[in-house]
Amino acid sequence: SAVISQKPSRDICQRGTSLTIQCQVDSQVTMMFWYRQQPGQSLTLIATANQGSEATYESGFVIDKFPISRPNLTFSTLTVSNMSPEDSSIYLCSVIPNRWGHEQYFGPGTRLTVT
4-7 and 19-25: which strand pairing?
antiparallel
24, 81, 111, 113: residue in contact with other proteins (rule CB under 8 A): 111
Residues 89, 101: Cα–Cα separation, whole Å? 29
Q: Which of 11, 45, 61, 67 binds other proteins (CB under 8 A)?
A: 45
Which part of the chain contacts other proteins (CB under 8 A), choosing from 14-22, 61-69, 70-78, 93-101? 93-101
Contact 96, 29 (CB under 8 A): yes
Out of 69, 73, 106, 113, the only residue in the binding site for other proteins (CB under 8 A) is 106
Q: Does 115 engage in binding with other proteins (CB under 8 A)?
A: no
Q: Does 97 contact other proteins by CB under 8 A?
A: no
Residue 28 within binding range of other proteins, rule CB under 8 A:
no
Residue 5 forms beta bridges with which residues?
A: 24
Q: Which of 57, 61, 75, 105 contacts other proteins by CB under 8 A?
A: 105
Residues 51, 73 contacting (CB under 8 angstroms): yes
Contacts of 61 (CB under 8 A, 6+ apart): 46, 47
Residue 33 in contact with residue 43, Cβ under 8 Å?
no
Binds other proteins (CB under 8 A): choice among 13, 24, 43, 69: 43
Beta bridge partners of 22: 7, 77
Residues that bind other proteins (CB under 8 A): 30-31, 33, 41-45, 48, 90, 92, 94, 96, 99-109, 111
